[in-house]
Amino acid sequence: MFDVKGKVVAITGASSGIGEAVARLLAAAGAKVVLGARRADRLEIIAADIRKKQGEADLQVIDVSKREDLERLVKKAQDRFGRLDVLISNAGLMPLSPLDQLKVEEWDRMIDVNIKGVLYGIAAALPVFRKQNSGHFINVSSVAGHRIGPNGAVYSATKFAVRAISEGLRQEAGDKIRVTIISPGAVESELASTISDPAVKKRVEDYRKMAIPAEAIASAMAYAIGQPGNVDVNEILIRPTAQPS
Ligand code: NDP
């Protein structure tokens, strides 16, 4: 269905949810994966599990809000596997709340991780892709990068930003570097765990009952990676069939 064999793929936010699912799927299909996130214990378990199944995996503990950590992730891929073919900028958080609550630290955190994390990934990988004359950015936005709802102003802003940055990058990238935006709807993961307002959290958890497995998003990423080099899948929007908006 898709050919990702031998590709070197670095993934941010690989310790749970979509990042973990895509790491496992790509490694099972013969890609060499480098897992990045803050929780070292989780990364070690996932990497060990991949290796046990004859897959190739390494890890780098990173905080995507630090530019040098993205450089470390890219360097780990180069040192361990000789190159970097794909950077999946997937790390993100979603502490939804009404603006009236002035949860300014949470706004800052979303901007630092969801936007700056993606930019730092571009800063780390773009020079490497230029030198190799090939490379593929996969940036994770959201359905919330297409529409805005109450409690989601800042989160949506960060995901609109991911789409704007990715489209700008695509237009500048030239004919050797591919850029794909992945925009999921409700997906099973730990994403709601950072919501600090109990009422909002309950509403979001109820809404997310129709969430689809993270593997659905992982397959979409594998599809984009597996296309021939002259085919750039620009964006995939994937919702649960039961998600109205
Ligand atoms: P999870 O909460 O399960 O995964 C988020 C990942 O991001 C974790 O691996 C976490 O690892 C990592 N992360 C968070 N902060 C940082 C940081 N500062 N540095 C490095 N890694 C970090 O949720 P999902 O899998 O759902 O989220 C993945 C992406 O998908 C996010 O960008 C999210 O916005 C997007 N998305 C998800 C949807 C959904 O319904 N699940 C819908 C639309 C978009 P650790 O804590 O170990 O650092």
What average pLDDT does range 209-228 have in this prediction? 98
Q: How far is the CA of 172 from the centre of ligand 1 (A)?
A: 27
Q: How far is the CA of 143 from the centre of ligand 1 (A)?
A: 15
Q: What mean pLDDT, rounded, does the chain reach?
A: 97
- Judge whether 155 counts as a catalytic residue: yes
Q: Ligand 1: which of 18, 22, 112, 245 to mutate, judged by most atoms within 8 Å of the beta carbon?
A: 18
Q: Is the pTM of this model over 0.95?
A: yes
117-132 vs 67-81: helix crossing angle, rounded to 10: 40
For residue 85, give the nearest of 37, 38, 125, 115 by alpha carbon.
Answer: 125
* DSSP annotation string for 26-54: HHHTT-EEEEEES-HHHHHHHHHHHHHTT
Which residue lies with its CA nearest to atom 8 of ligand 1?
13
What pLDDT was estimated at residue 74? 98
What average pLDDT does range 104-133 have in this prediction? 98
Kindly list the domain boundaries of the chain, sorted by start residue: 8-234
Q: Tell whether the model's pLDDT for residue 1 goes beyond 90.
A: no
What average pLDDT does range 92-114 have in this prediction? 98
Which pair of structure tokens corresponds to residue 102? 């002035």
What average pLDDT does range 28-54 have in this prediction? 98
Question: pLDDT class for 2, splitting at 50, 70, 90?
Answer: confident
What average pLDDT does range 84-92 have in this prediction? 98
8-234 topology per CATH? Rossmann fold (3.40.50)
Given the CA of residue 113, which atom of ligand 1 is nearest to it? 18
Q: Tell whether the model's pLDDT for residue 151 goes beyond 80.
A: yes
What average pLDDT does range 23-52 have in this prediction? 98
The proportion of the chain whose per-residue pLDDT surpasses 90, expressed as a percent, equals 98
